[in-house]
Amino acid sequence: MQLSGNTILITGGGSGIGRGLAEALHALGNQVVIAGRRQQALDETIAANPGIKSLPLDVRDAAGIRSFAAHAVSAFPSLNLLINNAGIMRREDLLAHPADLADAEAIIATNLLGPIRLTAALLPHLEKQARAAIMNVSSGLAFLPLALTPTYCATKAAIHSYTLSLRFQLRNTRIDVLELIPPYVATDLMDGRNDPQAMPLDQFIAEAMEILKRQPTPPEICVENVKRLRFAAENGNFEAIFTGMNSRVAGGR
């Protein structure tokens, strides 16, 4: 994956990690198009970064994704890099026996079905490009879950698995497939913006971009802060870290 001269579509690009990636990649000489369902966030991002473009998109809208993809390709025919970043994270008390599963269903539609649908819709176009890439944003919690957000963690584990299969199926094409694995980052996701335990967003983006500069097409982009979770099972620490992390969170509720 080359770091400049691309036309990049980033879902959830109006805030958090999506906005951080958009600004960093824009600064490297890429045409960046951010997509999301919150128009105000999109407007604020493009106002602060002249040259970045935006398109409205609700990744939960199955019927709308294909029409969105067709419009994006028509408006930006050089589109060659898709970053599936949009996501939501909600606490779920499974012992509360909720009358419906609206939260779980919304998380699955946003975090898992959205990327799968958008990738499928754009894949025919990406295959025609001289070079292209798909980057899926998972989470350290894909590898070691936070028990109070079970569906979120499950969707991120699924995105990791999907990315492995996608990479293998596209191995003989010109499309690179990467996975960005964030740690707990200071964003509005789960009110983490002001949490001193979260990794500052600017530090995360800077370290992730440095990894890409050193190795433009790593299968996984892992900053140091996430390796403890990502490799817990391989290092034989899974049970200890899982119990400790979840006990601390439960004790602070």
**So what's the pLDDT on residue 253?**
44
Phi, psi of 84 (to 5 degrees): -85, 95
Query: What average pLDDT does the segment 167-189 reach?
Result: 96
Q: Which tens digits make up the pLDDT trace of 193-218?
A: 678 889 999 999 999 999 999 998 99
Would the pLDDT of 234 be above 90?
Answer: yes
Query: What average pLDDT does the segment 24-41 reach?
Result: 96
Known catalytic residue at 152: yes
Catalytic one among 68, 152, 184, 204? 152
Q: Please name each of the domains of the chain with its CATH number.
A: 7-226 (3.40.50.720)
**So what's the pLDDT on residue 147?**
97
Would the pLDDT of 252 be above 60?
Answer: no
Burial class (CB in 10 A: 0-12, 13-18, 19+), 196: exposed
The pTM (predicted TM-score) of the whole model is 0.95
Burial class (CB in 10 A: 0-12, 13-18, 19+), 230: buried
Residues 6+ apart with CB under 8 A from 63: none
